[in-house]
Amino acid sequence: MDFNEVINNRRSARVFNGENVSNKQIEEILQSACSAPSAKNRQPWKFYILDDEQKNHIMDMLFKWDKLNPEEQTSVKGSAEQIKSADKMIMIYSDSYKSKSKNRNYKKPDYISLGCAIENMSLQAINLGLGSCILCDTLYIENEINEYLEINNFEQICGFIIGSPIYNYPPKIKKDLKDLLLN
Protein backbone atom coordinates (compact mmCIF):
# COMPACT_ATOMS: atom_id res chain seq x y z
CA MET A 1 0.00 0.00 0.00
CA ASP A 2 1.19 3.48 -0.90
CA PHE A 3 2.40 5.55 2.08
CA ASN A 4 -0.31 8.24 1.78
CA GLU A 5 -2.93 5.52 1.47
CA VAL A 6 -1.75 4.01 4.77
CA ILE A 7 -1.94 7.40 6.47
CA ASN A 8 -5.32 8.29 4.99
CA ASN A 9 -6.89 4.86 5.52
CA ARG A 10 -6.04 4.76 9.19
CA ARG A 11 -9.24 4.98 11.19
CA SER A 12 -10.21 3.80 14.61
CA ALA A 13 -11.86 0.46 13.85
CA ARG A 14 -15.06 -0.04 15.84
CA VAL A 15 -16.42 -3.34 14.53
CA PHE A 16 -14.55 -6.42 13.39
CA ASN A 17 -15.64 -9.44 11.35
CA GLY A 18 -14.29 -12.20 13.59
CA GLU A 19 -11.37 -13.24 11.37
CA ASN A 20 -8.25 -14.23 13.26
CA VAL A 21 -5.16 -12.06 13.58
CA SER A 22 -2.08 -14.29 13.39
CA ASN A 23 0.80 -14.29 15.85
CA LYS A 24 3.04 -13.21 12.96
CA GLN A 25 0.84 -10.16 12.36
CA ILE A 26 0.93 -9.29 16.07
CA GLU A 27 4.69 -9.59 15.99
CA GLU A 28 4.95 -7.33 12.93
CA ILE A 29 2.75 -4.73 14.61
CA LEU A 30 4.89 -4.81 17.76
CA GLN A 31 8.11 -4.69 15.74
CA SER A 32 6.81 -1.50 14.16
CA ALA A 33 6.28 -0.04 17.61
CA CYS A 34 9.88 -0.89 18.46
CA SER A 35 11.11 1.08 15.42
CA ALA A 36 9.55 4.31 16.69
CA PRO A 37 11.65 7.27 17.78
CA SER A 38 11.91 7.86 21.52
CA ALA A 39 13.35 10.54 23.78
CA LYS A 40 17.04 9.77 24.45
CA ASN A 41 16.25 6.42 22.84
CA ARG A 42 14.73 5.26 26.13
CA GLN A 43 12.13 3.13 24.28
CA PRO A 44 9.81 3.32 27.27
CA TRP A 45 7.21 0.91 25.89
CA LYS A 46 6.18 -2.44 27.28
CA PHE A 47 3.47 -4.72 25.90
CA TYR A 48 1.20 -7.33 27.42
CA ILE A 49 -0.47 -9.51 24.79
CA LEU A 50 -3.74 -10.69 26.31
CA ASP A 51 -5.02 -14.21 25.72
CA ASP A 52 -8.76 -14.68 25.03
CA GLU A 53 -9.61 -15.26 28.67
CA GLN A 54 -7.79 -12.12 29.81
CA LYS A 55 -9.32 -10.03 27.00
CA ASN A 56 -12.81 -11.22 27.93
CA HIS A 57 -12.18 -10.62 31.61
CA ILE A 58 -11.11 -7.01 30.99
CA MET A 59 -14.13 -6.54 28.73
CA ASP A 60 -16.43 -7.84 31.51
CA MET A 61 -14.76 -5.52 34.04
CA LEU A 62 -15.43 -2.54 31.75
CA PHE A 63 -19.09 -3.51 31.21
CA LYS A 64 -19.46 -3.90 34.96
CA TRP A 65 -17.82 -0.53 35.68
CA ASP A 66 -20.11 1.16 33.17
CA LYS A 67 -23.21 -0.34 34.81
CA LEU A 68 -22.08 0.84 38.24
CA ASN A 69 -21.18 4.37 37.06
CA PRO A 70 -23.91 5.54 34.66
CA GLU A 71 -23.66 9.13 35.91
CA GLU A 72 -20.11 9.40 34.52
CA GLN A 73 -21.43 9.26 30.92
CA THR A 74 -18.26 7.80 29.44
CA SER A 75 -17.59 5.81 26.28
CA VAL A 76 -16.57 2.79 28.39
CA LYS A 77 -19.51 0.63 27.25
CA GLY A 78 -18.68 1.36 23.59
CA SER A 79 -15.05 0.47 24.20
CA ALA A 80 -16.09 -2.79 25.87
CA GLU A 81 -18.25 -3.61 22.82
CA GLN A 82 -15.22 -2.97 20.60
CA ILE A 83 -13.09 -5.32 22.71
CA LYS A 84 -15.78 -7.98 22.33
CA SER A 85 -15.68 -7.61 18.56
CA ALA A 86 -11.87 -7.49 18.19
CA ASP A 87 -9.77 -10.60 17.80
CA LYS A 88 -6.75 -9.49 19.82
CA MET A 89 -5.94 -6.96 22.50
CA ILE A 90 -2.62 -5.67 23.78
CA MET A 91 -2.14 -3.58 26.91
CA ILE A 92 0.54 -0.90 26.52
CA TYR A 93 2.64 0.19 29.47
CA SER A 94 5.41 2.68 30.11
CA ASP A 95 8.45 1.45 31.97
CA SER A 96 10.03 4.79 32.48
CA TYR A 97 8.17 7.59 34.18
CA LYS A 98 6.58 5.80 37.09
CA SER A 99 9.16 3.17 37.74
CA LYS A 100 12.57 4.72 37.18
CA SER A 101 12.48 8.39 36.55
CA LYS A 102 13.11 11.04 39.14
CA ASN A 103 13.63 13.54 36.34
CA ARG A 104 10.55 15.70 35.70
CA ASN A 105 11.70 16.15 32.13
CA TYR A 106 11.09 12.49 31.37
CA LYS A 107 7.36 12.56 31.64
CA LYS A 108 6.21 14.42 28.52
CA PRO A 109 8.97 13.11 26.25
CA ASP A 110 8.15 9.55 27.28
CA TYR A 111 4.45 10.04 26.59
CA ILE A 112 5.36 11.45 23.16
CA SER A 113 7.61 8.43 22.52
CA LEU A 114 4.76 6.11 23.45
CA GLY A 115 2.43 7.99 21.09
CA CYS A 116 4.95 7.51 18.28
CA ALA A 117 5.13 3.78 18.97
CA ILE A 118 1.35 3.43 19.14
CA GLU A 119 0.87 5.30 15.88
CA ASN A 120 3.38 2.97 14.23
CA MET A 121 1.24 0.07 15.45
CA SER A 122 -1.91 1.65 14.02
CA LEU A 123 -0.24 2.26 10.65
CA GLN A 124 1.28 -1.23 10.47
CA ALA A 125 -2.18 -2.71 11.16
CA ILE A 126 -3.49 -0.82 8.10
CA ASN A 127 -0.49 -1.95 6.04
CA LEU A 128 -1.35 -5.57 6.93
CA GLY A 129 -5.00 -5.09 5.92
CA LEU A 130 -6.14 -5.02 9.54
CA GLY A 131 -7.85 -2.44 11.71
CA SER A 132 -7.08 -1.26 15.22
CA CYS A 133 -8.22 1.14 17.88
CA ILE A 134 -6.45 2.77 20.81
CA LEU A 135 -8.50 2.47 24.00
CA CYS A 136 -7.75 4.82 26.88
CA ASP A 137 -11.08 3.90 28.47
CA THR A 138 -9.18 1.05 30.13
CA LEU A 139 -7.76 3.75 32.41
CA TYR A 140 -11.12 3.99 34.22
CA ILE A 141 -10.23 0.63 35.71
CA GLU A 142 -6.46 1.00 35.52
CA ASN A 143 -5.77 -0.36 39.00
CA GLU A 144 -8.12 -3.31 38.63
CA ILE A 145 -6.54 -4.30 35.29
CA ASN A 146 -3.01 -3.97 36.67
CA GLU A 147 -3.91 -6.05 39.69
CA TYR A 148 -5.54 -8.70 37.51
CA LEU A 149 -2.48 -8.89 35.22
CA GLU A 150 -0.12 -8.59 38.21
CA ILE A 151 1.59 -5.53 36.74
CA ASN A 152 3.15 -3.44 39.51
CA ASN A 153 6.08 -1.46 38.19
CA PHE A 154 4.80 -0.05 34.94
CA GLU A 155 2.39 2.73 34.13
CA GLN A 156 -0.65 1.77 32.10
CA ILE A 157 -0.96 3.88 28.93
CA CYS A 158 -3.84 2.29 27.00
CA GLY A 159 -5.33 -0.81 25.45
CA PHE A 160 -4.95 -1.54 21.74
CA ILE A 161 -7.36 -3.78 19.87
CA ILE A 162 -6.71 -5.40 16.52
CA GLY A 163 -8.88 -7.31 14.10
CA SER A 164 -10.16 -7.57 10.60
CA PRO A 165 -12.38 -4.50 10.38
CA ILE A 166 -15.84 -4.01 9.00
CA TYR A 167 -15.47 -0.78 7.09
CA ASN A 168 -18.51 1.13 8.30
CA TYR A 169 -16.63 4.23 9.36
CA PRO A 170 -18.42 7.56 9.40
CA PRO A 171 -16.72 10.18 7.20
CA LYS A 172 -13.40 11.34 8.53
CA ILE A 173 -14.00 14.77 10.05
CA LYS A 174 -10.70 16.52 10.66
CA LYS A 175 -9.91 20.12 11.41
CA ASP A 176 -8.69 22.23 8.53
CA LEU A 177 -4.95 22.89 8.60
CA LYS A 178 -5.49 26.61 8.09
CA ASP A 179 -7.39 26.76 11.42
CA LEU A 180 -4.52 25.07 13.23
CA LEU A 181 -1.68 27.36 12.31
CA LEU A 182 -0.79 29.67 15.17
CA ASN A 183 1.08 32.14 13.01
**Contacting residues toward ligand FMN, per CB under 6 A:** 11-12, 75, 78-79, 82, 133-137, 158, 172
Please compute, for residue 154, the number of CA atoms within 13 A of its CA located in the half-sphere on the CB side. Answer: 19
3 or 24: whose CB is closer to ligand FMN?
3
Q: Report the distance separating Cα 124 and Cα 82, nearest Å.
A: 19
24 or 158: whose CB is closer to ligand FMN?
158
58 or 133: whose CB is closer to ligand FMN?
133
Minimum distance from residue 14 beta carbon to ligand FMN (Å): 7
Minimum distance from residue 165 beta carbon to ligand FMN (Å): 11
User: By the 8 A CB rule, do 139 and 74 touch?
Assistant: no
Minimum distance from residue 8 beta carbon to ligand FMN (Å): 10
Q: Report the side by side order of strands in the sheet with 45-49.
A: 45-49, 88-94, 155-163, 131-135
Minimum distance from residue 178 beta carbon to ligand FMN (Å): 19
152 or 168: whose CB is closer to ligand FMN?
168
Residues facing 156 on adjacent strands: 93
Q: Report the distance separating Cα 136 and Cα 74, nearest Å.
A: 11
Q: Report the distance separating Cα 172 and Cα 126, nearest Å.
A: 16
